[in-house]
Amino acid sequence: MSHKWIVGVDLGGTTTKIAFIQDNGEIILKWEIDTDNSDFGKNILKNISDSIDQKLETLKQTKEILVGIGLGAPGAIDLEKGLIYEAVNLGWENNYPIAEILGGVTGLPVVVDNDANCAALGEMWKGAGNGAKDLVCVTLGTGVGGGVIANGQIVHGIKGAAGEIGHITVIPENGAPCNCGKTGCLETVTSATGISRIATEAIHTYYNESKLKMIFENNSKISAKDVFDSAREGDQLAIEIVDKVAFYLGLALANIGNVCNPEKIIIGGGVSRAGNVLLNPLNQYFQNFAFSTVAQSTSIDIATLGNDAGVYGAAWLIKANLESK
Amino acid sequence: MSHKWIVGVDLGGTTTKIAFIQDNGEIILKWEIDTDNSDFGKNILKNISDSIDQKLETLKQTKEILVGIGLGAPGAIDLEKGLIYEAVNLGWENNYPIAEILGGVTGLPVVVDNDANCAALGEMWKGAGNGAKDLVCVTLGTGVGGGVIANGQIVHGIKGAAGEIGHITVIPENGAPCNCGKTGCLETVTSATGISRIATEAIHTYYNESKLKMIFENNSKISAKDVFDSAREGDQLAIEIVDKVAFYLGLALANIGNVCNPEKIIIGGGVSRAGNVLLNPLNQYFQNFAFSTVAQSTSIDIATLGNDAGVYGAAWLIKANLESK
């Protein structure tokens, strides 16, 4: 199949990324379309199919060149049936049968998995994972998501809720409420939203001079980026906030390490762009909280594929599926 | 191979358990020998081989009936080479080549894994796991050990340190020192030793009447069993201690659940004999700390194989190995 192409689709709430990818991971073409979530999302898959047809025409190719479509979707997936239990931001309810519908309109084999899992597979295949068979990916964005790979396979668990790293409880008592209904989740203190929240709280009990305080006084808000930028410039308050973020993230990642001992824990998402100002204290706390063998053998790395991780990982679903036959 | 037998060996610091087990998991014969850890443990594997020969003779069988030996050993294992990095309590150092030596003296294929992993495989195959492909086993004994199974395979991680559940940090600040060199590990508060320690501490700051206090005054010590027995009889101090144990165990198990979403988390070891007096508050805390889908889909069960889990799991290593060929 080496001359054939796999379609990788990363389905998001506002944008859908699509790519034609070769067996060896080389991208032939990569593009985006809007995700039309009107009318309970009934056009979404049809639009993907049409867009694929158009691009094939542009490239003067026929469907013959495609071996299948891998798709990452934002929600918990029934892998066997290729359906998503629910995806509120797409308008899909009641076990929407993605594989059946998309397979029907395109005539191609379709394999579906969760988008965070696809990002993890993408980093394993072509990104920071560099082929590692034991890998955990953590995405620190508006929320905190994750994907766990063990023995080269995604760990889904019994109901697809493996990798809910954002909902690891790091503050078991008196933690802030999380969107998930619990309190004290990792997401409440290490997502961009969470960092902004704890920074805003910290400002109100900090009585020294601070650049971060000035930013808040000027803009009436503070972003996670403000916190990292100020810390990098030596602002004491910002450094303390980053230290707190690193403490909780280091605790959670070390405990994941103590359970899975992955070769790499890969951090992606907007917050990961902070770089060393976060990584340095994070590595310190990780070393403190990890079992010695884990501290020595599990490394923390920054994701390298950025927004492309999803399409790579989605394509990998098809590649793995074909190779297992 | 259904008429043939697998040898399962559970190698412990003082006793080695051995069994002849059929392909379907039926035990033909099960026995124990002393583990001779004198002279850097050089007799250990020879003794196992001799003992197998003797039992075959007793049963009027020849080695022809054996397909291979699976062995669980107390330490981190290099699976591919079948060697143990080190096993202090056996006298083995410097990458002791178990598979090579035992294979040499017996003439049989040998597969080796860590003992906690074998116990998990045993529970998966013939015990409380009941065939579940996603399973976590936690052994609460003198220490706290664990084994993680995902997609039907043991998760070893990059250096065999996956499943180090006893060293999940549950008290990130000011926790008690652990044997591993860290502080605040799960083992420090939920092992038999840990429970005894926190009970002894609690007694010194408890000023009401208490049965547990009386036990301490009579024996100058308190065991984990004393704590659970007293809690079962309604002793307030004991109930508070059990609640604390359940809190930390529930936190750790929920966080494992949030990472792996196993079908079952199986609790074994001496402490698990406490039964409902521990399980009831444990389930409560697990529900509080687990992500909703995990809380609904991952159950906590008590191990059913007791001391036999190791030999079953060791035998399963051979079974899986043969079936994959």
* Contact status, residue B119 vs residue B139, Cβ threshold 8 Å: yes
Convert B69-83 into a string of H (helix), E (strand) and C (coil). Answer: EEEEECCCEECCCCE
Q: Say whether B259 and A163 touch across the interface (CB within 8 A).
A: yes
Q: Other CB atoms closer than 10 Å to residue A50's CB: what's the count?
A: 14
The label of the residue with tokens 């961009």 reads A192
The interface residues of chain A toward chain B in range 40-99, judged by CB-CB distance below 8 A, are 76
Q: Which residues of B touch A259 (CB under 8 A)?
A: 146, 148, 162-165, 168, 256, 259-260
What pLDDT was estimated at residue B324? 74
Contact B259 A159 (CB under 8 A): no
Residues in chain A within 8 Å Cβ distance of B172: 247, 251, 289
Q: Which residues in chain B have their CB less than 8 angstroms from residue A292's CB?
A: 180-182
Contact at CB, A76 and B293, closer than 8 angstroms = yes
In sequence order, what are the residues at sequence separation of 6 or more whose Cβ sits closer than 8 angstroms to the Cβ of residue B109? B67, B68, B69, B103, B318, B321
Is the confidence at residue A29, as pLDDT, over 80? yes
Strands (E), A107-167: 110-114, 135-140, 144-150, 153-154
The string of DSSP codes covering A191-248 is SHHHHHHHHHHHHTT--S--HHHHHHHHHS---HHHHHHHHHTT-HHHHHHHHHHHHH
Tell me how close the Cα of A268 comes to any Cα of chain B, in angstroms: 17
Task: Report how far residue A81's alpha carbon sits from residue B13's, in angstroms, rounded to the nearest whole number.
Answer: 48
pLDDT of residue A88: 80
Question: A180 at the B interface (CB within 8 A)?
Answer: yes
**Closest Cα in chain B, distance from residue A224 (Å):** 24
The minimal CB distance from A161 to the residues B132, B163, B294 is found for B294
Chain A CA closest to residue B248: A172
User: Which residues make beta-bridge pairs with A33?
Assistant: A16
Do B4 and B26 contact (CB within 8 A), yes or no? Answer: no
Average predicted confidence (pLDDT) for chain A = 94
B247 and chain A in contact, CB less than 8 A: yes
pLDDT score for B291:
96
Question: Closest Cα partner for A256 from B152, B181, B155, B184?
Answer: B155
3-state secondary structure B93-159: CCCECHHHHHHHHHCCCEEEEEHHHHHHHHHHHHCCCCCCCCEEEEEECCCEEEEEEECCEECCCCC
* B17 CB-side CA count, 13 A: 22
Residues of A in contact with B297 (CB under 8 A): 157-159, 161
CB-based contact, B168 to chain A, within 8 Å: yes
Residues in chain A with CB shorter than 8 Å from the CB of B148 are 150, 259-260
In degrees to the nearest 10, what's the CA dihedral of A281, A287, A290, A293?
150
Average pLDDT over residues A142-151: 94
Task: Determine whether the interchain pair B161/A297 forms a contact, defined as Cβ–Cβ distance below 8 Å.
Answer: yes
Which positions in chain A touch B251 (Cβ < 8 Å)?
169, 172
Q: Which of residues 188-227 of A touch B (CB under 8 A)?
A: none
Q: What is the mean pLDDT of residues A174-180?
A: 95
Report pTM.
Answer: 0.92
B-interface mutation test, from A135, A165, A183, A258, most B Cβ less than 10 A away: A258
Instruction: Identify which of B155, B254, B297 has the shortest CB distance to residue A159.
Output: B297
Instruction: Compare CB distances from A158 to B146, B160, B263 and report the shortest one's residue.
Output: B263
Q: Are A274 and A245 in contact (CB under 8 A)?
A: no
Amino acid at B110: V
Residue A75: predicted pLDDT: 85
Kindly determine whether residue B182 and residue A291, on different chains, have CB atoms separated by under 8 Å: yes
**ipTM, 2 dp:** 0.91
Instruction: Name residues whose C-beta falls within 8 Å of residue A280's C-beta, 6 or more positions apart in sequence.
Output: none
Q: Are A307 and A119 in contact (CB under 8 A)?
A: no
Tokens of B190: 């939920």
Q: What is the predicted pLDDT for the residue at A319?
A: 93
How many angstroms separate the CA of residue A139 from the nearest CA in chain B?
14
- In B, which residues are within 8 Å of A293 by CB distance? 76, 159-161, 164
- Measure in Å the smallest separation between the Cα of A48 and chain B Cα atoms: 30
A1 pLDDT above the threshold of 70? no
Q: What is the pLDDT of residue B1?
A: 47
Please tell me if residue B158 touches chain A, with a CB cutoff of 8 Å. yes
Instruction: Flag if B162 and A261 touch (Cβ within 8 Å).
Output: yes
Q: Residue A325, SS3?
A: coil
pLDDT in tens, B244-277: 999 999 999 999 999 999 999 999 999 999 999 9
How large is the average pLDDT for residues A131-142? Answer: 93
In terms of CA atoms, which chain B residue is nearest residue A179? B291
pLDDT digits (tens, 9 = 90+) for B104-125: 999 999 999 999 999 999 999 9
| pLDDT (0 to 100) of residue A325 | 65
* pLDDT at residue A323, rounded to an integer: 79
Domains in chain A (CATH in brackets) are 5-114+307-323 (3.30.420.40), 128-304 (3.30.420.40)
Is the per-residue pLDDT at A76 higher than 90? no
Which residues in A lie closer than 8 A to residue B135 (C-beta atoms)?
none
Interface contact A161, partner B, CB < 8 A: yes
Which residue in chain A has the smallest CA separation from B294? A161
Residue ranges in chain B whose pLDDT is less than 70? 1-2, 325
Q: Which amino acid is at B63?
A: K
Who among A153, A158, A247 is closest to B261 (CB)?
A158
Q: Which of A149, A261, A266, A298 to probe the B interface (max B CBs under 10 A)? A: A261
Residue A13 confidence (pLDDT) above 90? no
Whether the CB of A155 is below 8 Å from some CB of chain B: the reply is yes
